[in-house]
Amino acid sequence: MSAYSPPSPNQLGTGWTTTSLGGLKMPLYLAFIWHMHQPYYKDPISGKYLLPWLRLHAVKDYLHMAEILSQYPQIKVTINLVPSLLSQLLDYLKGEAVDPAMELGFREEWPEAEKEYILTHFFSINHERFIARHPRYQLLLELRPYVRQAPNLFSSAYFRDLAVWFNLAWTDPNKLESDPFLRALVEKGGNFSLEDFGKLMEKHREIMAGIIPLYRELEAKGQVELATSPFYHPILPLLINTENAHRASPWLTLPSLAFSHPEDAEEQIRRAIEFHCTLFGHEPVGLWPPEGAICPELIPILARRGLSWLATDEAILARTLNLNLDRDSEGHLKSPEILYQPYKIQIDGKSLTALFRDRFLSDRIGFVYQYMDGYEAARDLVNRLLAIKDRLPKDRPYLVTIILDGENCWEHYEHNGDVFLHNLYRMLSEEPEIECVRVKDFLERFPPQETLTDIATGSWINGNLETWIGEEAQNQAWEALAQVREDLVNWQKNYPLADLETLERAWECIYRAEGSDWFWWYYSRNVSEQEQIFDQAFRGHLSGVYTSLGLPIPEWLSYPILRAAIVVERAPSGFISPRLTASPQAPSDWAKAGYVKGSIGGAMRPSSQLLNGLYYGYDPGTLYLRVETSEPIGFIPLSVYFVSPSADKVNWQFRHLDERVETANGFAWALEISPHEPKAVLFKAEGQEVWHPVREIHNLACSEKALEIAIPLNYLGLEIGDTLGLILVGEKGGVLERLPPSGVITFTLREKF
């Protein structure tokens, strides 16, 4: 690995100014990279779109982000547009895309299965921010449990209104307030007609039609740099060789059928550059590798294709330099000059520039500021940037890089992020100490002064590739991809005169199946009620290879790819009344407790797994839990959800998440743990996804990687003889982890053992 050498005073970039005292004076440069991405939802056989998220994010976020930016000409940013997103957007504009939220909205009647689909999916938006603000939509949500019990007792008006409201709520709230038709539709509230829905879809197409022209305009004005990603958003190091996953995680069990096709990685990049050039009139100079995943072999490929910069995560820089990027208690880097500069990477005679994102600041936008007042959140970020400037040496220009998804977090913010973004852009426009820049502009003025001769392999999630490979289901998916690709290559050898159009269709299906999202949703820690649809989409792309060649689809592709099983190590074997010490190792007090962990496809547990284990036990009056983690508990929000068959009211989703969790009885209680204070807050389910805080629990102990808590059974309305179920949930960096990975730990509070 390359060693980091501190900058010398004479290594000054151009553009510095001097004060009258002879000192150096320059603003802190700030590069926002907003990453816009959607997987390829179009089924190659039916031609239908399996999910509506591209259209819905287009009408809520993609135009919205550009329109806000256009009001602040001093704010310059880089926007990364994945070609698979843009190509699907063009399908919608040509009238060639039909998704379920469109198709079902045009129906007069719905069979029972479609009614259940509507009830399950058409509330999939932040309830507090987007449903509660519309009384009629909120009423539809409150009626959902009753409709589920007797769907045929409710008229078609309920389902028509729900179809309209789902699509309406996913529309930029500024449009709902300013557009006469949309405002009238909101005011109407209900009893919508087919004509109303049809006009709403026309309005969606009108909004989508403005996206690409506005991005072109902002780029032409010099306010935006448009970067790209490989066409279908694959994890490039794994396309190059799945063995690359072992570099960061040597314990992983990898697929039995290896996948090693650097030519596919290069083709995904070539297609992206060609598509970008066709759409925007020039080749991009920058690339965001999907999920920030890079490896040394990637650098020459990108350089050969004429790209000059890429970006990834600070964890990759830390591993490359073999050091820790330590932060103080406020989150400020102790050696900020290491991260806040570009680096030249030179490998095999090829080179390009790399930027490394500040994960802490990026995650504050992605996951923290949504809980704060928009003005205060913007002020916090600006103050942190000013603190960074004060801590940096005055020897060169420095660049802070903030990178995150440009669409996913805003539904959790007030008014779709408007309050935060307007305040942030205004404050930055007025702050002389900070200058927002496009990446290419900064690099033209200030080329990198440090060179790396190697780069670590990994991604922006924990610095490794475990999110996309290593578990049983993920490995099955990689093996399926490898097998189908091999079948295609063999067919091509046997039919050398096959027409190019047939081969193009077949290879296109392979490239689509290489996208990262399919493997993301096979990961046991990523839970969604739509994961079966993603599995269907992945297998659909592989099946499309055979239909393109006129071959029968192998029977094995008709079977879903299974998740890894839950491993329950043991059930409770006797009463326990442990002292709460949170010692690093569970003492003998917990010997008779139950214990559970998640299976990782037979591999050793990776060090980045957040939840290492859960002990659970009880005595006649108290439930005891012990949580063990692989990372400091203070950085992992923890919750425990309780299932009680005798509960009078239940909720079906985790708090703050619109994800229906499949349990037989729903959640009666939720316990949210704050180890810093230390305390836990117990919430009671009131139904309709409403949670009411009922009491605080202070009887807990917490150490760096262990937490123990005692919960009186009567707090949960339980006594000996009752049955209890529970799920432990942890979250870090946007990754949700459950223990167990699926299902519920269920046990009876026995009187005797």
CA 517, 518, 521, 522 torsion: positive or negative?
Answer: negative
Is the pLDDT assigned to residue 19 strictly greater than 50? no
Q: How far apart are CA 740 and CA 726, in angstroms?
A: 9
**Single-letter amino acid code for the residue at 707:** L
Tokens standing for residue 508: 């296109």
CATH class assigned to 566-748: mainly beta
Q: How far apart are CA 660 and CA 679, in angstroms?
A: 27
Confidence (pLDDT) at 600: 40
Tokens standing for residue 584: 């690093």
Tokens standing for residue 506: 């077949």
Q: How far is CA 695 from the centre of its chain?
A: 32
Is the pLDDT assigned to residue 50 strictly greater than 70? yes
Find all residues with CB under 8 Å of 100, minimum gap 6, and list them: 49, 50, 51, 52, 117, 121
Q: What are the backbone angles phi and psi of residue 483, rounded to the nearest 5°?
A: -65, -45
Tell me the CA end-to-end span of the chain in Å, nearest whole number. Answer: 57
Q: How far apart are CA 446 and CA 341, in angstroms?
A: 10
Q: How far apart are CA 310 and CA 439, in angstroms?
A: 10
Tokens standing for residue 669: 């209680």
Q: What are the backbone angles phi and psi of residue 659, rounded to the nearest 5°?
A: -125, 110
CA-closest candidate to residue 238, choices 18, 498, 522, 451: 522
Kindly list the domain boundaries of the chain, sorted by start residue.
Answer: 95-206, 472-558, 566-748
User: Tokens 């043991």 correspond to what residue?
Assistant: 570
Confidence (pLDDT) at 730: 87
Which region among 409-413, 421-425, 704-708 has the lowest average model confidence (pLDDT)?
Answer: 704-708
35/598: higher pLDDT: 35
Confidence (pLDDT) at 666: 82
Confidence (pLDDT) at 656: 66
pLDDT tens digits, 373-384: 999 999 999 999
**Single-letter amino acid code for the residue at 236:** L
Mean pLDDT of 40-51: 92
Is the pLDDT assigned to residue 165 strictly greater than 70? yes
Confidence (pLDDT) at 589: 84
**Single-letter amino acid code for the residue at 511:** Y
Alpha-carbon separation of residue 103 from 41, 89, 106, 330 (angstroms): 15, 17, 6, 49
CA-closest candidate to residue 470, choices 683, 244, 162: 244
**Single-letter amino acid code for the residue at 73:** P
Helix (H) or strand (E) holding 13: none
Q: Model-level pTM greater than 0.85? A: no
Per DSSP, the residues of 197-221 read HHHHHHHHHHHHHTHHHHHHHHHHT
CATH of domain 472-558: 1.20.1430
CA 143, 146, 148, 150 torsion: positive or negative?
Answer: negative
Is the pLDDT assigned to residue 13 strictly greater than 60? no
CB 308 within 8 A of CB 331: no
Confidence (pLDDT) at 491: 97
**Single-letter amino acid code for the residue at 437:** V
